[in-house]
Structure formats: C-alpha cells, structure tokens
Chain A
C-alpha cells in the first residue's frame, strides 16, 4: 500500500519560533512532493512543491527533501497565529502522474 504519513499533532509552537512539520512516504518511485495548508472547513491551499533533494525556500517557508530517507519536511520561520492550520503533505508517484496521495495532515497551533 502506497502511503504518506504525518504526525497528526497537534503541534504547538510559540509565535515567532520555527515550526517543523514532517512527512514520510513509502513509495521510492515518488517524484514530486507538495505541501498544502488547510484551514478548518476550507479547501487545501498550495504552499510549495519540491522535487529535488535538498532545500527549497519561499519566503518564511522552506521545504526539505531527502529521497534516500523518503522524508520531506516543511519549516515555517517566524511563525504567526495566522499559520495555525492543518498542513497536508501530498505526493505524486511519477512526473506525469495526476493523482496526489495525501497524508493525514498535521494540525499546527501557533500560540501568541
């Protein structure tokens, strides 16, 4: 069974600190990795995607990918209360695959 796993949390982080969210995936053939943010009752909203080993930065967000360890993470610097949401990790198996396989999501709370 191909799966994407995340710690469901909740993860509590003080405002201004770094929030670290982790995701592991089981299929070594996975090629593209996505982080979505989902507020309660709302749709997933893309934060960023990564497909090469290493780090990718976009503003306060950094995605990290380690294909050898089948591990992808998202760091949020200078966390704000508005970052409080559920963060979904999603994986595509192939470059031209269309299906996103989602993890359960990690609920993040930023405490003022």
Chain B
C-alpha cells in the first residue's frame, strides 16, 4: 500500500539552528501539506502546496518557515532559526486533487518527525 514517508523520525537541534524536514508524498498525489502537533495539543495546519507553489498557509507559517519540492519526489519543510516553541511532531500529508461537487479526497499522513529544540 502506498504511503507517505518522512525522515528523520526524530531530530534534535539547538535553538537558532536551521532544520529541514523531509517527506516523500504518495507518487500520484498532487497536493502536499505540513501539519504540526505540539505535545498534548491539537493537530494544526501549516501549509499546503500545489503545482510548485504555496496554495494556502496558516498564521503559524511565518517567515521562518519555507517549503520546497526540490525534485519530483521530495517535499521539504525548512525552519530557518528554530525556537523552543517549534518543538512538536511535524506531519507531512498528501492527497489527490480535491474533487468536484460532492467528491472529496482524504489526506494521507506520514508517520511524522518529532522535532526537539534545546
């Protein structure tokens, strides 16, 4: 069964350092997403990406965040200067294009990268 894969599974970084979280979406999917979940809190949307550009982003996704699809398979989230409050589980997800009318397509989530900022 196809799946979204994320690497690394756990990343520890020092405050102020840059981190890149990597994801390989399901191969025939066209929409890609990043969500995060701070421990004990709800899953929060960060950004969606379609056709090589950001299609939607949340207020959390400020200038320290960026996304990129550097090749045909990878989708990355970069955090430029990490803060303690960036510690969270980061989930990548992908879906096919949203359907018309009453069709819908679900987002499939990767297993997540646990980011710990110290």
Closest to A50 in B: B104
| Residues of chain B from 74 to 116 with CB closer than 8 A to chain A in the complex | 91, 95, 98-102, 104, 106-112
Closest to A103 in B: B42
Interface assignment of A43: CB less than 8 Å from any CB of chain B: yes
Q: Tell me whether B42 and A102 are in contact (CB under 8 A).
A: yes
Q: Looking at the assembled complex, report how far the CB atom of B74 sits from the nearest CB atom of chain A, in whole angstroms.
A: 18
Q: Tell me whether A95 and B98 are in contact (CB under 8 A).
A: yes
Closest to A32 in B: B104
User: Complex Cα distance A51/B99, Å?
Assistant: 13
Q: Tell me whether A97 and B98 are in contact (CB under 8 A).
A: yes
Q: Which range holds the interface residue count of chain A?
A: 20 to 34
User: Complex Cα distance A51/B41, Å?
Assistant: 26
Interface of A is mostly: loop
Interface assignment of B18: CB less than 8 Å from any CB of chain A: no
Q: Tell me whether B109 and A95 are in contact (CB under 8 A).
A: no
Q: Looking at the assembled complex, report how far the CB atom of B1 sits from the nearest CB atom of chain A, in whole angstroms.
A: 12
Q: Tell me whether A43 and B109 are in contact (CB under 8 A).
A: yes
Interface assignment of A44: CB less than 8 Å from any CB of chain B: yes
Interface assignment of A82: CB less than 8 Å from any CB of chain B: no
User: Complex Cα distance A16/B112, Å?
Assistant: 32
Interface assignment of B65: CB less than 8 Å from any CB of chain A: no
Interface assignment of B56: CB less than 8 Å from any CB of chain A: yes
User: Complex Cα distance A2/B35, Å?
Assistant: 17
Name the B residues within 8 Å of A46 (CB-CB): 106-108
Closest to A96 in B: B98
Q: A99-B45, A104-B42 are in contact. Are A52 and B102 (CB under 8 A)?
A: yes
Q: Tell me whether B109 and A44 are in contact (CB under 8 A).
A: yes
Q: Tell me whether B110 and A43 are in contact (CB under 8 A).
A: yes
Neighbour of B42 across the interface among A95, A99, A105, CB < 8 A: A105
Interface centre among B42, B50, B56 (most CB of A within 10 A): B42
Contact with B along A77-112 (1 / 0, CB 8 A): 000000000001010100111111111110000000
Binding site for B on A (CB under 8 A): 32, 34, 42-46, 49, 51-52, 88, 90, 92, 95-105
Known: A42-B112, A103-B42. 4 other contacts (CB 8 A): A43-B112, A46-B106, A52-B102, A95-B100
